[in-house]
Amino acid sequence: METSEITVQHVAPLYVLATLRQVAGQGEILSAIAELRPAVANVLAGPPIALRLGFPRDGKIDYEIAFPVAKNVRRSGFTSKTLPGLPMFSFSHVGPIVGGAEGTNLIDTRRKFVRFVNERNVLVGDDPERFLYHEGPEKHGEEAERYVTEVQYSYHTPMWLEALEQGTKRIAGPEAARRVMAGSEGMVETLDGGRVIAWVPGAIDRLDREVPKDRDRACILNRCAHHYIVQSGMIIEAVWEEVGKDLRKLVTKITDEKLLGNNYWIDESGPEPLLMIERRPARPEEYERAQTPAEKRYEACFCPLVRDAIRRGDRVSRTFCHCSGGWYAQEWAIIFRETPEVRLIQTMLEGKARSVTAPAAGTPRSGPSSSARPLKCA
């Protein structure tokens, strides 16, 4: 399917040889590709790829430089891995990657995609942005106007809908799933985010009726969550090793140094200590300026599927926030080595300004721990 110069396609899984680099910009990526290419030239099976793993730190960004190969092979200095198959938005840029006249660089074409996302309200995923260098300096030398670069972003809407349908089918059966998903036919193909936004509250109400147990609904919606950002996972794992795998020290450090942006603490008031998480506002400055509770909830909410409903004051079931809980289930699975149960304590859908969740950590009252109550799903 195609809209203007942007297409949507399912990209197949891809064998690659990859290595991690910190770079200040696209120019350094091209230099890294030129440096690394000779080591893989005899097995290269497609254009080099750069995967952006997260956000800038100290003026640089973590990228994975990946070279497609026909089969799972090994090379010294590279990790052999498979990039996952995903539904992706794709668009191409012909011209300079950097350094060209105003309006001709890769960033200018990317801005067109940002406008497309905002105008359509489409749900873009958190899987690493991919840059595919089809034709560059190795073919065209200094003729940068002839470079061809493809950019791919994951399309989260089809993944979200599939996870909802399959999860409901697994727990409540195919007929229940059919009733929950009623009206979703063709939504992915229309690229109309407004239609998805209008559909979601009713679907969650139907899920509440079809699946009476809250823990079962959590099992379904946890798997709909956006995919946890690679770079954030690298940060939490590095700090975990730094503090000697002590959960309390980890929680203190990531909160005090704002390494992940949220507030974390351990509640020891009950019979079982619980790891608590207060989610930071999505738009902190706008949140601070907001004058009414509804405005604050809107500016705090990350999810485009329900935040307009929050601003209008429409009712949306708190069940929906189990999707957000799935983000933290992924985050803490990095430490616990299994998916933890995540409980909703407060949600913005119930009139709270900011959400609080609690992975049920089963934490002993002293000493290090990496234990958790695992999520048990049908």
Q: Are residues 139 and 273 in the same domain?
A: no
Q: Are residues 163 and 140 in the same domain?
A: no
Using a 10 angstrom Cβ sphere, with 0-12 exposed, 13-18 middle and 19 or more buried, the burial of residue 327 is buried
Q: What CA–CA distance (Å, rounded) separates 239 from 357?
A: 22
What is the signed CA dihedral for 10, 13, 15, 20, rounded to 10 degrees? 80
Please identify which residue in the block is written with the tokens 């690298």.
Answer: 234
Q: Which domain holds residue 339?
A: 230-359
Question: Residue 85: is its pLDDT beyond 50?
Answer: yes
Question: Residue 335: is its pLDDT beyond 50?
Answer: yes
Q: Are residues 182 and 306 in the same domain?
A: no
- Per DSSP, 339 falls in state P
Please indicate, yes or no, if residue 220 is contained in any of the structural domains. no
Q: What is the pLDDT of residues 40-68, one digit of tens each?
A: 999 999 999 999 998 888 889 999 999 99
Q: How many domains does the chain have?
A: 3
> What average pLDDT score do residues 72-89 get?
94
β-partners of residue 149 are: 93, 133
Please indicate, yes or no, if residue 313 is contained in any of the structural domains. yes
**Mean per-residue pLDDT over the chain, rounded:** 90
Q: Are residues 206 and 276 in the same domain?
A: no
- Res 368: pLDDT: 46
- Res 2: pLDDT: 38
- Rounded to the nearest 10 degrees, the angle between the axes of helix 247-256 and helix 230-242 is 120
Q: pLDDT band at 363, cuts 50/70/90?
A: low
Please indicate, yes or no, if residue 219 is contained in any of the structural domains. no
Q: Are residues 38 and 148 in the same domain?
A: yes
Q: Are residues 290 and 340 in the same domain?
A: yes
Q: What CA–CA distance (Å, rounded) separates 63 from 86?
A: 19
Q: Are residues 178 and 138 in the same domain?
A: no
> Does residue 347 or residue 172 have the better pLDDT?
172
Q: What is the pLDDT of residues 99-151, one digit of tens each?
A: 999 999 999 999 999 999 999 999 999 999 999 999 999 999 999 999 999 99
Q: Are residues 184 and 309 in the same domain?
A: no
Q: Are residues 131 and 194 in the same domain?
A: no
- Per DSSP, 303 falls in state -
CA 218, chain centre distance (Å): 18
Q: Are residues 257 and 170 in the same domain?
A: no
Q: Are residues 300 and 202 in the same domain?
A: no
Please indicate, yes or no, if residue 318 is contained in any of the structural domains. yes
Please indicate, yes or no, if residue 262 is contained in any of the structural domains. yes
Q: Are residues 237 and 326 in the same domain?
A: yes
- pTM confidence score: 0.90
